[in-house]
Amino acid sequence: MGKLSRELGSGLNSSQFANLYSFQAAARHLSFARAAQELCLTPSAVSHRIARLEQGLGFRLFQRLPRQLRLTEEGERIFLILQGALDELREALQPTPGSEIGGRLAIHAPPSLAACWLVPRLAGFTVRHPALTLDLRVGNGGVDFRTQSIDLALYYGQGEFPGLVAERWMDERIAPVCSRRYAQQHGLLQRAEQLRQCTLLHDTLAWDNAAFDAEWAYWARQRGVELPDHHLSFDRSDLCVLAAASHAGVAIGRYRLVRERLASGELLLPFGEAWLPAPSAYYLVHPARDSLPGRVQAFIDWLRECAA
């Protein structure tokens, strides 16, 4: 809590702690009404608490716009420091010094990564840290760390995460995959030109702002292959792969997500080991903090080991 005290100086005293907590809720929601609902207060009470906090500090925390709240530069700085201080406090409230890392750990991941890579490995993490309660949330959209109670997000993307700390954690490579039956029916084995007669399976949300056919277009440019117009579209890579395994067409397989299906023979690489470095990679993303809570650092360390 030392950095928070230094930032707030004499403006922080015992009478201001309730106001500070109200500010934290309002900053997360960017709404006095939603903060009031969380705190079981009226919006007017929340507004008055924050006004008293601003008066004590001597600067504005919010820009009050018509039907909108926006943090000032000072408010954003104080909010981030306060979030870090609360994490430190949660760590300090562990039962005893040197005890097992415990508590709730909330992780966000894309559905395909969660289903095909992360969940099958989670038993190893729970054995290592039995006192941790893991809460895994999946979704294609980005996380708003201010309003969502998420500790760490795993993203597949191109490394653009403004205002957040991002670590490139795991690389990827891609290649077409299909079932053996589909490859034989369409004469695909070692004959990429036969793709013109096939159905392509597209992950339309491969990464943020990607075109619906981004992965196939990238692979085709690199290989000089003409692609057909006939396709089926999904919003998840694992659904593309499932459709391919069910003889519906040819999908772009991400090695990290399809290698078990390749090893079992459920899928094959019709054009041999035609892997290309993917245009995206996997990132670990979280808000900036002086130091990460122990539970988050433990999960990151485990993820690095798995990736290696």
Q: What is the pLDDT of residues 48-87, one digit of tens each?
A: 999 999 888 889 999 988 888 889 989 888 887 887 777 6
The CATH number covering residue 201 comes to: 3.40.190.10
Examine the domain organization and report whether 164 and 294 are in the same domain: yes
Please compute, for residue 58, the number of CA atoms within 13 A of its CA located in the half-sphere on the CB side.
Answer: 6
For residue 92, the model assigns a pLDDT of: 59
Task: State the Cα angle at 38 between 32 and 44, rounded to 5°.
Answer: 35
Q: Could you please report the per-residue DSSP string of 16-40?
A: GHHHHHHHHHHHHHT-HHHHHHHHT
Residue 8: which pLDDT band, with cuts at 50, 70 and 90? low
For residue 96, the model assigns a pLDDT of: 46
Backbone φ and ψ of 166, nearest 5°: -130, 130
Examine the domain organization and report whether 241 and 110 are in the same domain: no
For residue 26, the model assigns a pLDDT of: 87
Question: 287 with 164: CB under 8 angstroms?
Answer: yes
Examine the domain organization and report whether 74 and 6 are in the same domain: yes
Residue 220 belongs to a domain? yes
Q: What is the pLDDT of residues 221-263, one digit of tens each?
A: 999 988 998 999 999 999 999 999 999 999 999 999 999 999 9
* Mean pLDDT (the chain, rounded): 88
Examine the domain organization and report whether 78 and 11 are in the same domain: yes
Backbone φ and ψ of 37, nearest 5°: -65, -40
For residue 97, the model assigns a pLDDT of: 47
Residue whose token pair is 């034989």: 184
Residue 112 belongs to a domain? yes
Backbone φ and ψ of 219, nearest 5°: -65, -45
pLDDT at residue 11 tops 80: no
Examine the domain organization and report whether 167 and 285 are in the same domain: yes
Examine the domain organization and report whether 180 and 258 are in the same domain: yes
Mean pLDDT over 285-296 rounds to 87
pTM of the model: 0.73
Last residue of a domain, one of 73, 92, 111: 92
Instruction: Give the least confident one: 8-22, 29-43, 44-58, 180-194.
Output: 8-22
Identify the domain containing residue 246 by its residue range: 173-277
H/E stretch holding 63: strand 62-65
Q: What's the token pair of residue 275?
A: 């892997």
Examine the domain organization and report whether 250 and 178 are in the same domain: yes
The tally of domains found in the chain comes to: 3
Mean pLDDT over 101-127 rounds to 92
**How many other C-beta atoms are found inside a 10 Å radius of the C-beta of residue 25?**
20
Percent of the chain clearing pLDDT 90 (strictly above): 54
More confident residue, 111 or 84: 111
Residue 204 belongs to a domain? yes
The CATH number covering residue 74 comes to: 1.10.10.10
Q: What is the pLDDT of residues 155-213, one digit of tens each?
A: 999 988 988 999 999 999 999 999 999 999 999 999 999 999 999 999 999 988 899 99
